[in-house]
Structure 1
Protein backbone atom coordinates (compact mmCIF):
# COMPACT_ATOMS: atom_id res chain seq x y z
CA UNK A 1 0.00 0.00 0.00
CA UNK A 2 1.49 3.34 -1.07
CA UNK A 3 2.13 5.96 1.55
CA UNK A 4 0.65 9.41 0.92
CA UNK A 5 2.72 12.23 2.32
CA UNK A 6 1.00 15.53 3.07
CA UNK A 7 3.44 18.44 3.35
CA UNK A 8 3.60 19.95 6.81
CA UNK A 9 2.06 23.38 7.15
CA UNK A 10 4.32 26.25 8.02
CA UNK A 11 5.09 29.88 7.27
CA UNK A 12 7.02 29.01 4.11
CA UNK A 13 4.18 26.79 2.94
CA UNK A 14 1.63 29.58 3.45
CA UNK A 15 3.86 32.12 1.72
CA UNK A 16 4.00 29.86 -1.34
CA UNK A 17 0.21 29.58 -1.26
CA UNK A 18 -0.10 33.38 -1.12
CA UNK A 19 2.26 33.67 -4.08
CA UNK A 20 0.29 31.12 -6.12
CA UNK A 21 -3.07 32.82 -5.47
CA UNK A 22 -1.59 36.25 -6.23
CA UNK A 23 -0.04 34.96 -9.46
CA UNK A 24 -3.33 33.40 -10.53
CA UNK A 25 -5.16 36.72 -9.99
CA UNK A 26 -2.65 38.55 -12.17
CA UNK A 27 -2.83 35.96 -14.95
CA UNK A 28 -6.61 35.98 -14.88
CA UNK A 29 -6.72 39.77 -15.19
CA UNK A 30 -4.08 40.04 -17.93
CA UNK A 31 -5.85 37.42 -20.03
CA UNK A 32 -9.15 39.35 -19.92
CA UNK A 33 -8.61 42.34 -22.22
CA UNK A 34 -12.32 43.20 -22.26
CA UNK A 35 -12.40 43.51 -18.48
CA UNK A 36 -9.30 45.73 -18.51
CA UNK A 37 -10.91 48.08 -21.02
CA UNK A 38 -14.30 48.18 -19.32
CA UNK A 39 -12.76 49.07 -15.98
CA UNK A 40 -11.11 52.11 -17.57
CA UNK A 41 -14.03 53.48 -19.56
CA UNK A 42 -16.12 54.75 -16.64
CA UNK A 43 -13.43 56.80 -14.83
CA UNK A 44 -12.11 58.19 -18.11
CA UNK A 45 -15.63 59.31 -19.07
CA UNK A 46 -16.14 60.89 -15.66
CA UNK A 47 -12.80 62.65 -15.81
CA UNK A 48 -12.76 63.97 -19.36
CA UNK A 49 -16.47 64.29 -20.21
CA UNK A 50 -18.19 65.15 -16.95
CA UNK A 51 -15.11 66.90 -15.57
CA UNK A 52 -14.97 69.14 -18.65
CA UNK A 53 -18.71 69.80 -18.56
CA UNK A 54 -18.80 70.65 -14.86
CA UNK A 55 -15.64 72.71 -15.25
CA UNK A 56 -17.47 75.12 -17.57
CA UNK A 57 -20.00 75.77 -14.79
CA UNK A 58 -17.55 76.39 -11.94
CA UNK A 59 -14.60 77.94 -13.81
CA UNK A 60 -15.46 81.42 -12.54
CA UNK A 61 -15.38 80.39 -8.88
CA UNK A 62 -12.09 78.46 -9.05
CA UNK A 63 -9.74 80.67 -11.10
CA UNK A 64 -6.52 79.08 -12.25
CA UNK A 65 -7.61 75.48 -11.61
CA UNK A 66 -9.00 72.96 -14.08
CA UNK A 67 -11.92 71.15 -12.44
CA UNK A 68 -10.58 67.93 -13.93
CA UNK A 69 -7.49 68.43 -11.73
CA UNK A 70 -9.80 68.37 -8.72
CA UNK A 71 -11.57 65.22 -9.94
CA UNK A 72 -8.34 63.39 -10.79
CA UNK A 73 -7.72 61.82 -7.32
CA UNK A 74 -11.34 60.71 -7.20
CA UNK A 75 -11.05 59.01 -10.57
CA UNK A 76 -7.92 57.17 -9.41
CA UNK A 77 -9.93 55.95 -6.42
CA UNK A 78 -12.85 54.91 -8.60
CA UNK A 79 -10.57 52.92 -10.89
CA UNK A 80 -8.82 50.96 -8.14
CA UNK A 81 -11.99 50.43 -6.12
CA UNK A 82 -14.02 49.02 -9.00
CA UNK A 83 -11.14 46.80 -10.15
CA UNK A 84 -10.53 45.55 -6.61
CA UNK A 85 -14.20 44.67 -6.12
CA UNK A 86 -14.34 42.76 -9.40
CA UNK A 87 -11.22 40.85 -8.36
CA UNK A 88 -12.90 39.92 -5.08
CA UNK A 89 -16.02 38.86 -6.97
CA UNK A 90 -14.07 36.14 -8.76
CA UNK A 91 -14.41 34.12 -5.54
CA UNK A 92 -18.10 33.65 -6.35
CA UNK A 93 -17.16 32.53 -9.86
CA UNK A 94 -14.66 30.05 -8.42
CA UNK A 95 -17.35 28.69 -6.11
CA UNK A 96 -19.83 28.21 -8.97
CA UNK A 97 -17.29 26.22 -11.00
CA UNK A 98 -15.88 24.21 -8.10
CA UNK A 99 -12.37 25.68 -8.08
CA UNK A 100 -12.87 27.28 -4.67
CA UNK A 101 -13.58 23.90 -3.09
CA UNK A 102 -10.28 22.60 -4.47
CA UNK A 103 -8.44 25.53 -2.85
CA UNK A 104 -10.22 25.08 0.47
CA UNK A 105 -9.33 21.37 0.71
CA UNK A 106 -5.68 22.03 -0.19
CA UNK A 107 -3.20 21.54 2.69
CA UNK A 108 -2.70 25.29 3.18
CA UNK A 109 -4.08 27.80 5.63
CA UNK A 110 -7.33 29.38 4.53
CA UNK A 111 -5.94 32.64 5.84
CA UNK A 112 -3.15 32.35 3.26
CA UNK A 113 -5.75 32.00 0.50
CA UNK A 114 -7.53 35.15 1.68
CA UNK A 115 -4.30 37.14 2.00
CA UNK A 116 -3.22 36.02 -1.48
CA UNK A 117 -6.61 37.02 -2.85
CA UNK A 118 -6.46 40.46 -1.23
CA UNK A 119 -2.87 41.07 -2.35
CA UNK A 120 -3.74 39.91 -5.86
CA UNK A 121 -6.73 42.25 -6.02
CA UNK A 122 -4.62 45.15 -4.76
CA UNK A 123 -1.80 44.52 -7.26
CA UNK A 124 -4.24 44.17 -10.17
CA UNK A 125 -6.09 47.35 -9.14
CA UNK A 126 -2.83 49.28 -8.88
CA UNK A 127 -1.82 48.04 -12.31
CA UNK A 128 -5.06 49.46 -13.66
CA UNK A 129 -4.54 52.64 -11.68
CA UNK A 130 -1.14 53.15 -13.31
CA UNK A 131 -2.94 53.91 -16.56
CA UNK A 132 -4.84 56.73 -14.85
CA UNK A 133 -1.59 57.95 -13.30
CA UNK A 134 -0.12 58.15 -16.80
CA UNK A 135 -2.89 60.62 -17.72
CA UNK A 136 -1.87 63.08 -14.99
CA UNK A 137 -0.34 65.61 -17.39
CA UNK A 138 -3.56 65.77 -19.42
CA UNK A 139 -5.41 67.32 -16.45
CA UNK A 140 -2.68 69.60 -15.13
CA UNK A 141 -1.13 67.28 -12.53
CA UNK A 142 2.70 67.31 -12.59
CA UNK A 143 4.67 64.12 -13.16
CA UNK A 144 6.62 64.49 -9.93
CA UNK A 145 8.33 61.21 -8.92
CA UNK A 146 7.48 61.85 -5.26
CA UNK A 147 3.83 62.50 -6.09
CA UNK A 148 3.54 59.43 -8.31
CA UNK A 149 5.07 57.17 -5.64
CA UNK A 150 2.82 58.66 -2.96
CA UNK A 151 -0.29 58.11 -5.06
CA UNK A 152 0.81 54.56 -5.88
CA UNK A 153 1.24 53.70 -2.19
CA UNK A 154 -2.14 55.23 -1.29
CA UNK A 155 -3.74 53.38 -4.21
CA UNK A 156 -2.39 50.07 -2.96
CA UNK A 157 -3.69 50.66 0.58
CA UNK A 158 -7.15 51.61 -0.70
CA UNK A 159 -7.23 48.67 -3.12
CA UNK A 160 -6.20 46.16 -0.44
CA UNK A 161 -8.91 47.42 1.93
CA UNK A 162 -11.61 47.34 -0.74
CA UNK A 163 -10.56 43.85 -1.88
CA UNK A 164 -10.80 42.66 1.72
CA UNK A 165 -14.28 44.19 1.87
CA UNK A 166 -15.24 42.44 -1.36
CA UNK A 167 -13.84 39.09 -0.18
CA UNK A 168 -15.87 39.44 3.02
CA UNK A 169 -19.03 39.98 0.96
CA UNK A 170 -18.22 37.19 -1.49
CA UNK A 171 -17.31 34.57 1.12
CA UNK A 172 -20.93 33.41 1.49
CA UNK A 173 -22.33 34.37 -1.92
CA UNK A 174 -23.56 31.59 -4.21
CA UNK A 175 -24.05 33.44 -7.51
CA UNK A 176 -22.55 36.42 -9.32
CA UNK A 177 -25.84 38.30 -9.73
CA UNK A 178 -26.32 38.56 -5.97
CA UNK A 179 -22.75 39.67 -5.40
CA UNK A 180 -22.76 42.40 -8.06
CA UNK A 181 -26.15 43.67 -6.93
CA UNK A 182 -24.89 43.95 -3.36
CA UNK A 183 -21.61 45.45 -4.57
CA UNK A 184 -23.40 48.23 -6.47
CA UNK A 185 -25.64 48.92 -3.49
CA UNK A 186 -22.63 49.25 -1.16
CA UNK A 187 -19.92 50.82 -3.33
CA UNK A 188 -21.77 53.46 -5.36
CA UNK A 189 -23.16 55.43 -2.37
CA UNK A 190 -19.76 55.18 -0.65
CA UNK A 191 -18.06 56.45 -3.81
CA UNK A 192 -20.42 59.40 -4.24
CA UNK A 193 -20.11 60.32 -0.54
CA UNK A 194 -16.30 60.18 -0.52
CA UNK A 195 -15.70 63.62 -2.00
CA UNK A 196 -14.40 62.11 -5.22
CA UNK A 197 -16.69 64.31 -7.34
CA UNK A 198 -17.44 67.33 -5.16
CA UNK A 199 -15.48 69.37 -2.58
CA UNK A 200 -15.98 68.62 1.11
CA UNK A 201 -16.14 72.34 2.02
CA UNK A 202 -19.41 74.11 2.90
CA UNK A 203 -21.56 70.99 2.83
CA UNK A 204 -24.94 70.80 4.60
CA UNK A 205 -24.57 69.30 8.08
CA UNK A 206 -26.30 66.01 7.17
CA UNK A 207 -24.07 65.53 4.12
CA UNK A 208 -20.96 66.45 6.11
CA UNK A 209 -21.81 63.72 8.64
CA UNK A 210 -22.27 61.13 5.88
CA UNK A 211 -18.93 61.98 4.26
CA UNK A 212 -17.19 61.89 7.65
CA UNK A 213 -18.42 58.39 8.56
CA UNK A 214 -17.72 57.05 5.06
CA UNK A 215 -14.47 55.00 5.09
CA UNK A 216 -13.75 55.80 1.43
CA UNK A 217 -13.46 59.49 2.29
CA UNK A 218 -10.22 58.68 4.10
CA UNK A 219 -8.86 56.95 1.00
CA UNK A 220 -9.73 59.76 -1.43
CA UNK A 221 -8.68 62.74 0.68
CA UNK A 222 -4.98 61.74 1.09
CA UNK A 223 -4.68 61.44 -2.69
CA UNK A 224 -6.19 64.89 -3.16
CA UNK A 225 -3.94 66.33 -0.46
CA UNK A 226 -0.91 64.87 -2.25
CA UNK A 227 -1.97 66.27 -5.64
CA UNK A 228 -2.79 69.76 -4.34
CA UNK A 229 0.51 69.92 -2.45
CA UNK A 230 2.22 69.90 -5.87
CA UNK A 231 0.01 72.61 -7.42
CA UNK A 232 0.50 76.36 -7.37
CA UNK A 233 -2.99 77.70 -6.68
CA UNK A 234 -4.41 80.60 -4.64
CA UNK A 235 -5.00 79.80 -0.95
CA UNK A 236 -8.70 80.68 -1.18
CA UNK A 237 -9.20 78.23 -4.03
CA UNK A 238 -7.28 75.54 -2.13
CA UNK A 239 -9.55 76.11 0.88
CA UNK A 240 -12.62 75.47 -1.29
CA UNK A 241 -11.39 72.47 -3.28
CA UNK A 242 -9.09 70.84 -0.73
CA UNK A 243 -10.37 71.56 2.79
CA UNK A 244 -9.52 68.12 4.18
CA UNK A 245 -11.67 66.16 6.62
CA UNK A 246 -12.72 67.73 9.91
CA UNK A 247 -13.88 66.16 13.15
CA UNK A 248 -15.64 68.78 15.29
CA UNK A 249 -13.44 71.54 13.90
CA UNK A 250 -10.19 69.52 14.00
CA UNK A 251 -8.62 68.79 10.61
CA UNK A 252 -7.67 65.13 10.43
CA UNK A 253 -3.98 64.67 9.41
CA UNK A 254 -3.22 62.56 6.37
CA UNK A 255 -1.30 60.07 8.52
CA UNK A 256 -4.40 59.49 10.67
CA UNK A 257 -6.55 59.05 7.55
CA UNK A 258 -4.21 56.44 6.11
CA UNK A 259 -4.01 54.74 9.51
CA UNK A 260 -7.81 54.49 9.57
CA UNK A 261 -7.87 52.93 6.09
CA UNK A 262 -5.18 50.44 7.14
CA UNK A 263 -7.10 49.63 10.35
CA UNK A 264 -10.33 49.05 8.44
CA UNK A 265 -8.43 46.88 5.95
CA UNK A 266 -6.91 44.77 8.73
CA UNK A 267 -10.32 44.35 10.39
CA UNK A 268 -11.97 43.35 7.11
CA UNK A 269 -9.13 40.91 6.40
CA UNK A 270 -9.70 39.28 9.78
CA UNK A 271 -13.44 39.00 9.11
CA UNK A 272 -12.78 37.52 5.65
CA UNK A 273 -10.40 34.92 7.11
CA UNK A 274 -13.02 34.00 9.75
CA UNK A 275 -15.66 33.69 7.01
CA UNK A 276 -13.45 31.37 4.99
CA UNK A 277 -12.69 29.18 7.98
CA UNK A 278 -16.43 28.54 8.30
CA UNK A 279 -16.96 28.09 4.54
CA UNK A 280 -17.66 24.63 3.18
Structure 2
Protein backbone atom coordinates (compact mmCIF):
# COMPACT_ATOMS: atom_id res chain seq x y z
CA UNK A 1 0.00 0.00 0.00
CA UNK A 2 2.76 2.43 0.88
CA UNK A 3 4.56 1.75 -2.41
CA UNK A 4 1.33 2.29 -4.31
CA UNK A 5 0.70 5.54 -2.46
CA UNK A 6 4.24 6.69 -3.21
CA UNK A 7 3.85 5.85 -6.88
CA UNK A 8 0.46 7.58 -7.08
CA UNK A 9 1.59 10.68 -5.16
CA UNK A 10 5.26 11.28 -5.94
CA UNK A 11 7.14 13.79 -3.84
CA UNK A 12 7.28 17.07 -5.74
CA UNK A 13 10.73 17.96 -6.99
CA UNK A 14 12.45 20.87 -5.33
CA UNK A 15 12.69 23.87 -7.59
CA UNK A 16 15.65 25.52 -5.95
CA UNK A 17 16.16 29.23 -5.43
CA UNK A 18 15.96 30.04 -9.15
CA UNK A 19 12.60 28.36 -9.63
CA UNK A 20 11.22 29.86 -6.43
CA UNK A 21 12.49 33.30 -7.44
CA UNK A 22 10.68 33.02 -10.78
CA UNK A 23 7.43 32.18 -8.98
CA UNK A 24 7.80 35.25 -6.75
CA UNK A 25 8.78 37.36 -9.77
CA UNK A 26 5.61 36.39 -11.65
CA UNK A 27 3.53 37.06 -8.54
CA UNK A 28 5.00 40.54 -8.16
CA UNK A 29 4.62 41.43 -11.84
CA UNK A 30 0.93 40.54 -12.05
CA UNK A 31 -0.31 43.79 -10.40
CA UNK A 32 1.91 45.80 -12.76
CA UNK A 33 0.48 44.01 -15.80
CA UNK A 34 -3.09 44.45 -14.55
CA UNK A 35 -2.57 48.15 -13.85
CA UNK A 36 0.06 49.47 -16.30
CA UNK A 37 -1.03 53.02 -15.50
CA UNK A 38 1.30 52.89 -12.49
CA UNK A 39 4.24 52.79 -14.92
CA UNK A 40 3.05 55.94 -16.67
CA UNK A 41 2.29 57.69 -13.39
CA UNK A 42 5.85 57.02 -12.25
CA UNK A 43 7.09 59.03 -15.24
CA UNK A 44 5.34 62.26 -14.24
CA UNK A 45 8.16 63.56 -12.06
CA UNK A 46 11.02 62.71 -14.50
CA UNK A 47 9.13 64.29 -17.41
CA UNK A 48 8.51 67.43 -15.34
CA UNK A 49 12.24 67.65 -14.63
CA UNK A 50 13.01 67.19 -18.33
CA UNK A 51 10.40 69.73 -19.43
CA UNK A 52 11.16 72.46 -16.89
CA UNK A 53 14.60 71.87 -15.40
CA UNK A 54 16.23 70.90 -18.71
CA UNK A 55 15.66 74.21 -20.51
CA UNK A 56 16.61 76.09 -17.34
CA UNK A 57 19.85 74.12 -17.19
CA UNK A 58 20.53 74.87 -20.84
CA UNK A 59 20.02 78.57 -20.30
CA UNK A 60 22.11 78.89 -17.15
CA UNK A 61 25.00 76.43 -17.27
CA UNK A 62 24.63 74.96 -20.74
CA UNK A 63 28.12 76.01 -21.74
CA UNK A 64 29.56 74.55 -18.56
CA UNK A 65 28.07 71.11 -19.07
CA UNK A 66 30.70 68.52 -20.04
CA UNK A 67 30.36 67.84 -23.74
CA UNK A 68 28.40 71.10 -24.23
CA UNK A 69 25.23 69.10 -25.05
CA UNK A 70 22.67 69.54 -22.31
CA UNK A 71 20.36 66.68 -23.31
CA UNK A 72 23.20 64.20 -23.76
CA UNK A 73 24.31 65.13 -20.25
CA UNK A 74 20.93 65.54 -18.56
CA UNK A 75 18.80 62.66 -19.89
CA UNK A 76 21.07 59.84 -18.59
CA UNK A 77 21.00 61.51 -15.19
CA UNK A 78 17.20 61.55 -15.25
CA UNK A 79 17.21 57.82 -16.02
CA UNK A 80 19.25 57.26 -12.87
CA UNK A 81 16.76 59.43 -10.99
CA UNK A 82 13.91 57.18 -12.18
CA UNK A 83 15.82 54.21 -10.79
CA UNK A 84 16.57 55.97 -7.53
CA UNK A 85 13.03 57.20 -6.85
CA UNK A 86 11.26 54.10 -8.11
CA UNK A 87 13.33 51.39 -6.45
CA UNK A 88 13.97 53.15 -3.15
CA UNK A 89 10.23 53.29 -2.42
CA UNK A 90 9.41 49.65 -3.17
CA UNK A 91 9.72 48.73 0.49
CA UNK A 92 6.45 50.58 1.03
CA UNK A 93 4.69 47.82 -0.94
CA UNK A 94 6.15 45.25 1.44
CA UNK A 95 4.93 47.32 4.38
CA UNK A 96 1.40 47.13 3.02
CA UNK A 97 1.69 43.35 2.69
CA UNK A 98 2.88 43.13 6.29
CA UNK A 99 -0.16 45.14 7.38
CA UNK A 100 -2.58 42.84 5.57
CA UNK A 101 -0.80 39.63 6.61
CA UNK A 102 0.12 38.67 3.03
CA UNK A 103 3.82 38.74 3.85
CA UNK A 104 3.42 36.36 6.80
CA UNK A 105 1.37 33.98 4.66
CA UNK A 106 4.10 33.97 2.04
CA UNK A 107 6.75 33.19 4.67
CA UNK A 108 5.06 29.90 5.61
CA UNK A 109 4.87 28.66 2.00
CA UNK A 110 7.44 26.13 0.70
CA UNK A 111 9.18 28.99 -1.13
CA UNK A 112 12.62 29.70 0.28
CA UNK A 113 12.96 33.04 2.02
CA UNK A 114 15.96 33.98 -0.09
CA UNK A 115 13.89 33.57 -3.25
CA UNK A 116 11.17 35.79 -1.80
CA UNK A 117 13.68 38.61 -1.61
CA UNK A 118 15.45 37.94 -4.91
CA UNK A 119 12.14 37.54 -6.77
CA UNK A 120 10.88 40.86 -5.44
CA UNK A 121 14.14 42.55 -6.34
CA UNK A 122 14.22 41.13 -9.87
CA UNK A 123 10.70 42.45 -10.36
CA UNK A 124 12.12 45.99 -10.20
CA UNK A 125 14.04 45.42 -13.44
CA UNK A 126 11.09 45.18 -15.85
CA UNK A 127 9.15 48.38 -14.94
CA UNK A 128 12.42 50.28 -14.62
CA UNK A 129 13.65 49.36 -18.11
CA UNK A 130 10.23 50.12 -19.64
CA UNK A 131 10.10 53.57 -18.02
CA UNK A 132 13.67 54.40 -19.03
CA UNK A 133 13.00 53.29 -22.60
CA UNK A 134 9.92 55.53 -22.79
CA UNK A 135 11.94 58.54 -21.62
CA UNK A 136 14.64 57.87 -24.19
CA UNK A 137 12.10 57.58 -27.03
CA UNK A 138 10.30 60.75 -25.91
CA UNK A 139 13.52 62.77 -25.85
CA UNK A 140 14.89 61.68 -29.24
CA UNK A 141 12.73 64.19 -31.19
CA UNK A 142 14.08 66.96 -28.93
CA UNK A 143 17.69 66.31 -29.93
CA UNK A 144 18.75 63.49 -27.65
CA UNK A 145 20.88 61.10 -29.74
CA UNK A 146 21.82 57.99 -27.77
CA UNK A 147 24.29 55.44 -29.11
CA UNK A 148 22.20 52.25 -29.63
CA UNK A 149 24.73 49.80 -28.17
CA UNK A 150 25.60 52.16 -25.33
CA UNK A 151 21.93 52.76 -24.58
CA UNK A 152 21.29 49.01 -24.32
CA UNK A 153 24.21 48.63 -21.91
CA UNK A 154 23.04 51.69 -20.00
CA UNK A 155 19.59 50.20 -19.49
CA UNK A 156 21.16 46.93 -18.33
CA UNK A 157 23.29 48.88 -15.86
CA UNK A 158 20.18 50.60 -14.50
CA UNK A 159 18.52 47.20 -14.06
CA UNK A 160 21.45 45.94 -11.97
CA UNK A 161 21.39 49.11 -9.86
CA UNK A 162 17.63 48.73 -9.44
CA UNK A 163 18.02 45.23 -8.02
CA UNK A 164 20.40 46.55 -5.36
CA UNK A 165 18.30 49.59 -4.46
CA UNK A 166 15.11 47.54 -4.35
CA UNK A 167 16.72 44.97 -2.06
CA UNK A 168 17.94 47.67 0.31
CA UNK A 169 14.45 49.20 0.32
CA UNK A 170 12.89 45.83 1.23
CA UNK A 171 15.49 45.34 3.95
CA UNK A 172 14.67 48.75 5.40
CA UNK A 173 10.95 47.93 5.42
CA UNK A 174 11.64 44.71 7.31
CA UNK A 175 13.93 46.45 9.77
CA UNK A 176 11.38 49.14 10.72
CA UNK A 177 8.23 47.04 10.42
CA UNK A 178 7.05 48.15 13.87
CA UNK A 179 7.72 51.82 13.10
CA UNK A 180 6.44 52.38 9.57
CA UNK A 181 7.06 56.12 9.60
CA UNK A 182 10.75 55.39 10.04
CA UNK A 183 10.91 53.91 6.53
CA UNK A 184 10.09 57.25 4.91
CA UNK A 185 12.30 59.18 7.31
CA UNK A 186 15.36 57.09 6.42
CA UNK A 187 14.48 56.90 2.73
CA UNK A 188 14.14 60.67 2.35
CA UNK A 189 17.22 61.36 4.47
CA UNK A 190 19.39 59.17 2.25
CA UNK A 191 17.69 59.80 -1.11
CA UNK A 192 18.17 63.51 -1.66
CA UNK A 193 21.79 63.88 -0.48
CA UNK A 194 22.74 60.86 -2.61
CA UNK A 195 20.98 62.39 -5.62
CA UNK A 196 22.50 65.85 -5.26
CA UNK A 197 26.00 64.57 -4.49
CA UNK A 198 25.97 62.36 -7.59
CA UNK A 199 25.98 65.32 -9.98
CA UNK A 200 22.70 64.05 -11.38
CA UNK A 201 21.01 67.43 -11.75
CA UNK A 202 23.91 69.90 -11.79
CA UNK A 203 27.65 69.59 -12.49
CA UNK A 204 29.73 69.46 -9.32
CA UNK A 205 32.89 70.74 -10.99
CA UNK A 206 32.19 74.29 -9.86
CA UNK A 207 30.83 73.29 -6.46
CA UNK A 208 32.68 73.56 -3.14
CA UNK A 209 35.55 71.19 -2.55
CA UNK A 210 33.78 69.30 0.23
CA UNK A 211 30.95 68.40 -2.14
CA UNK A 212 33.39 67.09 -4.73
CA UNK A 213 35.08 64.93 -2.10
CA UNK A 214 31.72 63.65 -0.84
CA UNK A 215 30.73 62.81 -4.41
CA UNK A 216 33.74 60.52 -4.71
CA UNK A 217 32.39 58.43 -1.82
CA UNK A 218 28.94 58.21 -3.41
CA UNK A 219 28.46 55.04 -5.54
CA UNK A 220 25.70 56.79 -7.45
CA UNK A 221 28.25 59.26 -8.84
CA UNK A 222 30.02 56.52 -10.77
CA UNK A 223 26.75 55.13 -12.12
CA UNK A 224 25.61 58.56 -13.32
CA UNK A 225 28.96 59.18 -15.04
CA UNK A 226 28.83 55.71 -16.59
CA UNK A 227 25.34 56.28 -17.98
CA UNK A 228 26.46 59.49 -19.66
CA UNK A 229 29.50 57.74 -21.07
CA UNK A 230 27.51 54.75 -22.34
CA UNK A 231 24.75 56.79 -23.98
CA UNK A 232 27.45 58.85 -25.69
CA UNK A 233 28.96 55.66 -27.12
CA UNK A 234 32.07 55.42 -24.90
CA UNK A 235 31.38 51.78 -24.12
CA UNK A 236 34.93 50.71 -23.33
CA UNK A 237 35.85 53.73 -21.22
CA UNK A 238 37.10 53.42 -17.65
CA UNK A 239 34.16 55.61 -16.60
CA UNK A 240 31.71 52.98 -17.84
CA UNK A 241 33.71 50.24 -16.13
CA UNK A 242 33.69 52.00 -12.76
CA UNK A 243 29.97 52.57 -13.06
CA UNK A 244 29.42 48.87 -13.72
CA UNK A 245 31.48 48.02 -10.64
CA UNK A 246 29.48 50.46 -8.49
CA UNK A 247 26.13 49.08 -9.73
CA UNK A 248 27.23 45.48 -9.24
CA UNK A 249 28.52 46.12 -5.73
CA UNK A 250 25.25 47.87 -4.87
CA UNK A 251 23.31 44.84 -6.13
CA UNK A 252 25.48 42.38 -4.19
CA UNK A 253 25.28 44.45 -1.00
CA UNK A 254 21.54 44.96 -1.36
CA UNK A 255 20.83 41.26 -1.91
CA UNK A 256 23.08 40.23 0.98
CA UNK A 257 21.45 42.69 3.40
CA UNK A 258 17.95 41.93 2.15
CA UNK A 259 18.32 38.13 2.32
CA UNK A 260 19.68 38.39 5.84
CA UNK A 261 16.75 40.63 6.84
CA UNK A 262 14.11 38.30 5.45
CA UNK A 263 15.71 35.26 7.08
CA UNK A 264 15.42 37.05 10.41
CA UNK A 265 11.72 37.78 9.86
CA UNK A 266 9.48 36.06 12.36
CA UNK A 267 6.98 33.49 11.15
| TM range, smaller chain | 0.7 to 0.9
Matches within 5 A, 1:7-18: 10=14, 12-18=15-21
Deviation track 1:231-258 (CA, whole Å, cap 9, x = no partner) reads: xxxxxxxxxxxxxxxxxxxx96421331
Question: How many Å separate the matches in 2 of 1:139 and 1:70?
Answer: 14
Number of the residue aligned with 2:57: 54
Matches within 5 A, 1:119-268: 119-174=122-177, 177-229=181-233, 253-268=239-254
How far did 1:268 drift? 1.9
TM-score, structure 1 length as denominator? 0.81
How far did 1:129 drift? 1.7
Matches within 5 A, 1:71-90: 71-90=74-93
The number of equivalent residue pairs is 256
> Alpha carbons of 1:57 and 1:91: their partners in 2 closer, same or farther (altered >3 Å)?
same
Structure 2: gaps spanning 5 or more residues = none
2:174–2:262: 8 Å Cα contact kept in structure 1?
yes
Question: How many Å separate the matches in 1 of 2:10 and 2:196?
Answer: 49
Question: How many Å separate the matches in 2 of 1:76 and 1:112?
Answer: 28
Question: How many Å separate the matches in 1 of 2:199 and 2:244?
Answer: 16
Question: How many Å separate the matches in 2 of 1:48 and 1:184?
Answer: 24
Question: How many Å separate the matches in 2 of 1:18 and 1:118?
Answer: 9
User: What value does the CA root-mean-square deviation take over the aligned residues?
Assistant: 2.7
Question: How many Å separate the matches in 1 of 2:238 and 2:82?
Answer: 25
1:21–1:116: 8 Å Cα contact kept in structure 2?
yes
Deviation track 1:202-228 (CA, whole Å, cap 9, x = no partner) reads: 432200111111121122111011123
Number of the residue aligned with 1:275: 261
> Alpha carbons of 1:205 and 1:40: their partners in 2 closer, same or farther (altered >3 Å)?
same
Question: How many Å separate the matches in 2 of 1:23 and 1:127?
Answer: 17
Question: How many Å separate the matches in 2 of 1:157 and 1:63?
Answer: 26
Given candidates 44, 62, 71, the residue that maps to 1:41 is 44
Question: How many Å separate the matches in 2 of 1:89 and 1:279?
Answer: 16
Structure 1: gaps spanning 5 or more residues = 231-250
> Alpha carbons of 1:148 and 1:61: their partners in 2 closer, same or farther (altered >3 Å)?
closer
Question: How many Å separate the matches in 1 of 2:54 and 2:89?
Answer: 25
2:46–2:82: 8 Å Cα contact kept in structure 1?
yes
